[in-house]
């Protein structure tokens, strides 16, 4: 489903809109389970925006053919509103892809979890 913010592929921890906004493409570690995943952001956002623009062009052509008396200013304004809405929804197309964890990373994660449990006691 496209309109869903991404979650950690390992533990399912939900990330908020502002957190995703600050992330860059590449490797990131989950703040909950400490496992790594790859962020795929730029390609998906570009595809999403391209799809929105394509649909707008098709809709504009349809309106111009079936209603030639349409006001060009009104059509431009409606296009601007749709593009602005798509820009706000762009982070819903970001995906997190699980990455393999090396033995040294597993050891580091285990030590970090042990330290957290010691600090809680």
The answer to whether 109 and 36 have CB atoms below 8 angstroms apart is: no
Over range 56-78, report the average pLDDT: 82
3 inside domain = no
Q: What is the pLDDT of residue 69?
A: 80
User: Does the pLDDT at position 70 exceed 50?
Assistant: yes
Number of domains in the chain: 1
Q: What is the DSSP letter of 101?
A: -
Q: Give the residue numbers spanning the domain of 96.
A: 17-120
Is residue 5 included in any domain, yes or no? no
Q: State which H helix or E strand residue 39 sits in.
A: strand 36-40
pLDDT band at 1 (very low <50, low <70, confident <90, very high): very low
pLDDT at 116: 72
pLDDT for res 120: 62
Q: Is 7 inside any structural domain?
A: no
Domain membership of residue 11 (yes or no) is no
Residue 12 lies in a domain: no
Whether 58 is in a domain gets the answer: yes
């Amino acid at each position: 489903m496209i309109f869903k913010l991404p979650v950690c592929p390992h533990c399912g921890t939900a990330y908020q809109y502002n957190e995703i906004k600050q992330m860059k493409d590449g490797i990131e570690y989950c703040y909950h389970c400490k496992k790594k995943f790859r962020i795929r952001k730029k390609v998906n956002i570009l595809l999403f925006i391209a799809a929105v623009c394509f649909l707008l062009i098709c809709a504009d052509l349809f309106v111009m053919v079936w209603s030639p008396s349409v006001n060009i200013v009104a059509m431009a304004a409606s296009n601007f509103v749709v593009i602005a809405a798509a820009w706000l929804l762009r982070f819903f197309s970001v995906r997190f892809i699980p990455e393999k964890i090396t033995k040294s990373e597993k050891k580091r994660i285990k030590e970090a979890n042990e330290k957290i449990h010691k600090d809680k006691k």
